Amino acid sequence: MTVTTSKHNVSLTTDQQLTIAERKKSNPRTTNGELALWAKDQFKLFKAPDISTISKALKRQKLQEQTETSSIDTSRKRQQQAKHPILFFTDRIADNIK
């Protein structure tokens, strides 16, 4: 397995992380390296995500399944709420527009 290195990191959306977790569930013997190469082809990424990115994505999905939160925006890369009052207000308005 050859993965090219670059100065640019690969960032996966929550939707992509869910897809990777589903792939892992359907093929439990698949290694994280194989999942990284599959994700590169599946999501048409310029390089394969690092194995640690895949590992963290799987860990996040496992924690998410345990907490069963239903207010998840899968188009976002991060699910953290804004802490600054103006940003928090803007974030709430954006959620209501959808």
Q: What is the mean pLDDT of the chain?
A: 77
**Is the Cβ–Cβ distance between 21 and 57 less than 8 Å?**
yes
Q: What are phi and psi of 51, to 5 degrees?
A: -60, -35
Give residue 92's identity as a one-letter amino acid code: R
- Please state, in angstroms and rounded to a whole number, the distance separating the CA atoms of residues 30 and 62: 17
Q: Which of 12-16, 42-46, 51-55, 88-92 has the lowest mean pLDDT?
A: 88-92
pLDDT at 91: 57
12-49 per-position pLDDT tens digit: 888 899 899 999 999 999 999 999 999 999 999 999 99
Neighbours of 55 (CB within 10 A): 13
